[in-house]
Structure 1
Amino acid sequence: MRLSRARLALLIGLAGALLLVAVIVSPMLLISIPSFITDGSTSVDCADTTQVEEVSESGTSDIPAEYLDLYQEYGKKIGVQWNILAAVGKRETDHGRSSLPGVKSGTNSAGAAGPMQFLISTWGGKARIPMSSQFNGYASDGDGDGVADVYNPADAILGAAKMLKRNGAPENVRDALFVYNRAWWYVDQVEEIARKYAKSGDVKVPPQASEECDDPLVEAAPSDVVAKILQYALAQRGKPYLWGGTGPDSFDCSGVIYAAYRSAGLLIPRTTFGQWPFGAKILDGEEQPGDLVFFNAGPGTSAASPGHVGLVVAKGKMLEARCRLCGPIKVTSYQARGNRVGFTRPMQNPDVLDQLKKLQNSSL
Structure 2
Amino acid sequence: MKRLIGAGLAVVLVPVLLLSMLVAVLFGSEDEAQAAPPGGQPGVVCTTAPASGSGGSAGSTTGQDVAGFSGDQLDNAAVIVGQGKALGVPERGWVVAVATAMQESTLRTLNYGDTMANGQMSSSRGLFQQLDAWGPLADRLDPAKSAAMFYTGGQAGQPGLLDIPGWEQLPVTVAAQRVQQSETPDAYAKWEQPANQVVGAVEGRTCTTTPAAGAAGGTSISLPSNPRAETVINRALSQLGVTYSWGGGDANGPTLGIHDGGVADAHGDYAKVGFDCSGLALYAYAGIGVAVPHQTQAIWAAFPHLTDRTTLQPGDLLLYSSNGAANGIHHVGIYLGDDRMVEAPQSGDVVKISSGIWGGNRGAEFIGAVRPGA
TM-score range, shorter chain: 0.3 to 0.5
TM-score (norm 1): 0.37
Give TM-score, length-normalised by structure 2: 0.37
Q: Which has the higher contact order (CA 8 A, sep 6+)?
A: 2
